[in-house]
A and B are shown apart, each in its own frame.
Chain A
């Protein structure tokens, strides 16, 4: 019972993220618009464009090599047409949430960017429609780690200490310290921000991709994306080890080892381009 109470307390504390001063009011406004079938692209782009800092951050991201239009998107309206509403909304969330973090979490941002790039490459290799949505799921896959670290700073230190002392994964340490891990936090955040179900499955089940029922490909692609980002040593996911690759995931995606290695060939160049940005 006490354990449950503690978990509820942690959950409430984490979800107070809604009130974070750096989360732009635009995010709540576009969440409302999303539920309105009559909302137009013009309305959404006007809300984002009103916040100059947010607008600049989103434009910087959409023009990065991750989305395949480097340096060619000059307005939020253009980004919405090319990449779709869900991608732009994911970028608003990721850039805003990571903004609250200090230099300490820069490594996690770099890992997330790498996972976005890798997830997009895997999605393209198996001809998924809208590979940009897979990139956004990759970008947001560890958002629960960031929000937990910001909302429960003491827990972050305890988790990091445990990772170092026992050489376990960040996810295992989260479970030890909090009783739940970032994938559970992702579920709460997706519900809180009313994110679409494909992103919700990608973010919530990237460590258990074969449990995904509605959008298994999304969870599976991000699972492989996370593995590849760790393999390439891009950024810092919180622990310095590979993530367990599910033995069924490559088959489920119809991905051969030859294709996986071709993706790795491609990613080597892409990571270099990203680093030069």
Chain B
């Protein structure tokens, strides 16, 4: 988990904690994958910083599971390398796996 200023946020990063307004209202939930549009919106809403998950923060089991799932996904989709639609599906599923791992991580850390 790493606390970073918004200017360092990149698409693909995953929120380790929810982003909230100063009043406490939630803008983005834990586990959300950042996109360029979301980062622009956070900037427009004057959000200064956020907390993201990075691979080095993940416990070994979670990181290994994610690596295994990603490799399996590549294998399953190996015959669709030229198919733009199937590649898009693969990317979305890969993001879903990352998000699930971040949530698992968040839950584990929450319990500790």
Interface residues on A, range: 10 to 19
- B96–A261 CB distance below 8 A: yes
Residues of A within 8 A of B92 (CB): 257
- In the complex formed, the residue of B with least CB distance to A239 is B79
Interface of B is mostly: helix
**Chain A residues closer than 8 Å to B86, beta-carbon distance:** 242, 244-245
Instruction: Tell me the interface secondary structure of chain A in the complex.
Output: loop
Mark each residue of chain B from 64 to 102: 1 if its CB lies under 8 Å from any CB of chain A, else 0.
000000001001111110010110010011001000100
Cross-interface CB contact of B85 among A168, A241, A247, A264, cutoff 8 Å: A247
Check A240–B93 contact: CB distance below 8 A. Answer: no
Q: Is the CB of A242 within 8 A of B76?
A: yes
Give chain A residues whose Cβ lies under 8 Å from the Cβ of B93. Answer: 231
Q: Which of A168, A241, A242, A257 has the largest count of B CB atoms less than 10 A from its CB?
A: A242
B76 touches A231 (CB 8 A): yes
A231 vs B100: C-alpha distance in the bound complex, in angstroms? 16
Q: How far is the CB of B98 from chain A (nearest CB, A)?
A: 12
Q: Which residues of A contact B (CB under 8 A)?
A: 167-169, 230-231, 233, 240-242, 244-245, 247, 257, 261, 264-265
Chain B residues within CB distance 8 Å of chain A = 72, 75-80, 83, 85-86, 89, 92-93, 96, 100
Cross-chain pairs A/B with CB under 8 angstroms, 23 sampled = A167-B78, A167-B79, A168-B79, A230-B76, A231-B76, A231-B93, A240-B75, A240-B76, A241-B75, A241-B76, A241-B78, A241-B79, A242-B76, A242-B77, A242-B80, A242-B86, A244-B80, A244-B86, A245-B86, A245-B89, A261-B96, A264-B96, A265-B100
